[in-house]
Structure 1
Amino acid sequence: MRSNEEIVKFLGEGAYGFVNLVKYTKRDGSSFHAVVKNSYAEDFENLQKELQILCQLRGYPRIVECFGDYLEEGFSSYGNKVYKLLLEYASEGSLRSFMDNYSDRKLPQPMIRDFTRMILEGLVCIHGHGYVHCDLKPDNLLVFPCKDSSSYELKISDFGNSLKVGQIPHYWGFDLPFVGTPIYMPPESLIDGVVEKTLDLWSLGCLVLEMYTGEIPWLGLDIDDLASRLLYDEAPEIPECVPCDAREFIEKCFSRKPEERGSASELLSHRFLRREEEEKMEKVIAVVEERRNSFLLKLKLRIIRASKKSVDVSEKKPLKLKIVPSKAPYFKKVLTKILRLKTMDSYLVCV
């Protein structure tokens, strides 16, 4: 162990090595924590592939950040040579451990929506670079506290099983048909070894269902029973407690025909993922539109009634006008008197 490294704690062990939380101290005295994945020589290529993928995805907010452009070398506590991949540290741990903090492991619906949206944003990035993650599950989703609020954000990690779109895994076979963790894999894993983006969308449906129910999909089934269910195009059961819009979203992810699941970017526009503010605004707009339509309808009825009255009036018999002759003689006498008076006034003035 180098002088600027301090192993804080052991985090776990996976198929390709073990993971530690390490504190690094810089020359200026500042320090930072990093998660270090350690792999032995026989798994060097797999860890190197993960580093290359993470370097391509560097800078995207929904992807865990890696430090450095190459694998570091070191030794295990038993003196064996290991290769190290340094990753940013998620203080809240994985989604699996995060869910343990909630009653029955069920997350609040607003949080489920936010987390689902974040996972899809990460998948848009991954799929856009031509990769399929192949192992989406709560263990591979890391939870970070947001700096400016009490909320959280998710980032996708562990690209050890990731493959190029259309790639056929060299280890695929009838005796080992699954690319990633079996309980999150779709039916086509048993039929076709070609990896497609839609594989991740089935896994996402399993994740959303698990966040609602608190239970892992296919609970209680062994690998043979699971394979049998998938061969008959079955999907994990969605209980009645799941809201309607979430149910529609999960069913979309569980479409038996992969092409009917759509894409990550298409799923982002699903009504299940609309924010509460947008839903409130849509309700306000709907009320305004309803009132507008009601007003227009009333106005239209008034116009129809008014036009009907005008038609009724025009159909009646026309009015007969009685012409009263003017009293010309009377007006003539009055005019004569006036002229006489004016003449008298002029005369008096002259005198």
Structure 2
Amino acid sequence: MRHHKNKPEMKFVKSLGKGTYGSVDLFSYTKQDGTMFYNAVKISDHSQDDNSIKREFRVLKKLRGCQGIVQSFGNSLIQETDSNGKKVYKMAIEYAAGGNLTEFIRVNRKLSDTIVKDFTRMLLQGLVSVHGRGYVHCDLKPENLLLFPRQDQETRLCSHELKISDFGLTIKAGEESVCWETEAPFVGTPLYMSPESVRDGTTVEKTLDLWSLGCVVLEMFLGKHPWLGAGVDDIKSRLLCGKAPEIPESVPCDARKFVEKCFARKAEERGSASELLLHPFLKGEGKVDGDGGGGGERRRVGLRVRKPPSRFEDIAKKSLELKVISSKSSKFKRVLKKPLKVKILPPRPHKI
């Protein structure tokens, strides 16, 4: 007799959001043993937007298992028909319980230097994965950066892992984006687009994402959008005139240099995601392993405080050993030609 394992029971929980190309809902899944897990399901609302979710699914399949990338599930998109008889596609992805970076900044306002460095490092690790496979994300912004809470079992402290999501506009490097239009020749979101995004006939290169990265880092430090209050035409005009978002003096020096490198007018001067991982701004905290500095597993850095001995006398009672070096030693003579004088001080009285 053959036994078939039933699929986990799927139940709608709530809507997570709605955008230009569709919506995202949260579903719970209950296994036969009673355990439960959650997945987010991205749904294309209109048939004309099918290309976006199909493109995203193809890219995410190529990026499965990569660090810093939201993971998708299944071998193909789920095709269904809605109540109006229109064809819709669904894609199951990881559920980010921490929301996105936009929400995180709105709640916490200006982020600390440590958090900004940590998030920047994780974002770059994700870009190393994306660029390493020949893709350009083309729409890097806080709203597309998802946070996954992680609790340390020893310290009980909660941190967040950041991952890149929303690959609906992603294309291969060196190609011209199909999303570019004659009247608005840019790809992505105006607040985070690069100077080359507003030039006609420009092909998309990986350095486009690095300009957007600079905008994201600046927003984490300031707690507000770059180009705040400016319209699309105004932003385009400023970019064509060689201007970049202003970097206030309040931004730390090393971070300022990092953002300035991202905002280099000549795209080739921005370097690469792997090179930016080695920038002084990110050195000294955390550790990145793997190819190009971003392909390995990210290790958390923590401080371990050792407990003092139960009694101070445990140390005080241990005898000290004094090693005497002969003055006839050749090594000793090279270091010191004059005899040493040792001054013995009486012990200090113990203060109560």
For 2:36, the aligned partner's letter is S
Aligned to 1:221: 230
Aligned-pair distance for 1:196?
A: 0.2
Deviations 1:113-154 (A, max 9, x none): 000000000000000000000000011000011242421110
Equivalent residue runs for 1:28-177 within 5 Å: 28-39=33-44, 40-76=46-82, 80-102=86-108, 105-148=109-152, 149-177=157-185
AA in 2 matched with 1:93: G
- Going from structure 1 to structure 2, the CA distance change for 1:8 and 1:271 (only over 3 Å counts) comes to same
Instruction: Give the direction of change, closer, same or farther, for the CA distance of 1:300–1:189 in structure 2 (3 Å limit).
Output: farther
Give the distance between the partners of 2:41 and 2:122, measured in 1 at CA: 24
Q: What is the CA–CA distance in structure 2 between the aligned matches of 1:58 and 1:253, rounded to whole Å?
A: 27
Deviation at 1:73, TM superposition (A): 2.3
Question: What is the deviation of 1:26?
Answer: 3.5
Structure of higher CA gyration radius: 1
Pairwise CA distance, 1:76: 4.0
How far did residue 27 of structure 1 move? Answer: 4.4
| Structure with greater proportional helix content | 1
SS at match of 1:248: helix
**Distance in 1 (alpha carbons) for counterparts of 2:334 and 2:176:** 65
Q: Quote the Cα distance in structure 2 between the aligned partners of 1:144 and 1:20.
A: 17
Q: Residues 220-276 of structure 1: CA distance to partner in whole angstroms, max 9, x if unpaired?
A: 111111110000110000001000000000000000000000000000000000134
Structure 2 residue identity aligned to 1:38: I
Identical aligned residues as a percent: 55
Q: CA, structure 1 residues 29+183, in 2 after alignment: closer, same or farther (shift >3 Å)?
A: same
- Quote the offset at 1:158 in angstroms: 0.4
Change (3 A) 1:45 1:173: closer
Contact map agreement 1:141 1:154 (CA 8 A) in 2: yes
Query: Pick from 271, 293, 299: which aligns with 2:280?
Result: 271
Query: Which structure 2 segments of 5+ residues have no match?
Result: 1-6, 288-332, 338-352
Task: Supply the AA of the counterpart residue of 1:181.
Answer: T
Moved more, 22-31 or 164-173: 22-31
User: Number of aligned pairs?
Assistant: 281
Q: Give the equivalent residue in structure 2 for 1:20.
A: 25
Query: Given residue 23 of structure 2, which amino acid in structure 1 is its aligned partner?
Result: F
With over 3 angstroms needed to count, the CA separation of the structure-2 counterparts of 1:212 and 1:53, relative to structure 1, is: same
Asked if 2 retains the 8 angstrom alpha-carbon contact of 1:51 and 1:69, the reply is no
Name the counterpart of 1:238: 247
Q: Which of residues 203, 206, 222 is equivalent to 1:197?
A: 206
Asked if residue 247 in structure 1 is aligned to residue 256 in structure 2, the reply is yes
User: How high is the TM-score relative to the length of structure 1?
Assistant: 0.75
Let me know the Cα RMSD of the aligned residues: 2.4
Normalised to the residue count of structure 2, the TM-score between the two structures is 0.75
- One-letter code aligned to 1:249: F
3-state SS of 1:83 partner: strand
Are 2:17 and 1:5 aligned? no
Equivalent of residue 178 in structure 1, options 175, 186, 205: 186
Q: Which amino acid aligns with 2:174?
A: G
